[in-house]
């Protein structure tokens, strides 16, 4: 399994180049490390936290920032199996976060308090996927 924790510069630039004035929904797929990997200089470096515990720290510290920008989790589910796709991908967290617009997301990730707290996510995550979507009419069929 490839390891994706933070966006590459090209991915972030592509995100920023998209239209910003409409709601966005971010599909989050997250696989935790067995043991959190904090930088040696971090106070929790030798605490022996699990990836799940470190991710809880991330949620606790960033949740108020997310909520104050108008963000909310609109769907969360428990991973069971992959029917189509790589069989070696299993996810510990699967959820969709809605933001009022891309400006709100960018405000969150550039917030100094968020930037301090993201160390918990980086310590927690073995790999992840973060997929930006534009909400649309759900319709009655697949097409």
Q: What is the CATH number of the domain that holds 122?
A: 3.30.70.100
Would residue 1 count as lying in a domain?
no
Residue 138: inside a domain: no
- Kindly state the tokens that stand for 37: 């990997």
Cβ proximity of 68 and 55 under 8 Å: no
Q: Which of 117, 128, 124, 114 is nearest to 54 (CA)?
A: 124
Q: Is residue 100 part of a domain?
A: yes
Q: Containing domain of residue 66, as a range?
A: 9-133
* pLDDT tens sequence across 115-133: 999 999 999 999 999 999 9
CB 100 within 8 A of CB 69: yes
Q: What is the pLDDT of residues 55-86, one digit of tens each?
A: 999 999 999 999 999 999 999 999 999 999 99
Task: Give the total number of structural domains in the chain.
Answer: 1
Q: How many whole angstroms separate alpha carbon 32 and alpha carbon 82?
A: 17
């Amino acid at each position: 399994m490839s390891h994706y924790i933070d966006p590459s510069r090209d991915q972030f630039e592509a995100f920023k180049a998209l239209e910003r004035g409409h709601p966005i929904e971010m599909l989050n797929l997250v696989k935790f490390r067995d043991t959190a990997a904090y930088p040696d200089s971090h106070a929790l470096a030798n605490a022996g936290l699990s990836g799940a515990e470190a991710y809880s720290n991330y949620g606790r510290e960033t949740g108020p920032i997310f909520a104050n920008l108008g963000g909310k989790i609109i769907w969360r589910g428990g991973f069971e199996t992959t029917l189509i796709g790589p069989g070696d991908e299993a996810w510990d967290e699967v959820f969709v976060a809605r933001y009022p617009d891309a400006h709100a997301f960018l405000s969150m990730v550039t917030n100094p308090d968020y930037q301090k707290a993201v160390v918990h996510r980086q310590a927690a995550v073995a790999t992840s996927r973060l997929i930006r979507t534009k909400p649309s009419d759900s319709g009655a069929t697949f097409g």
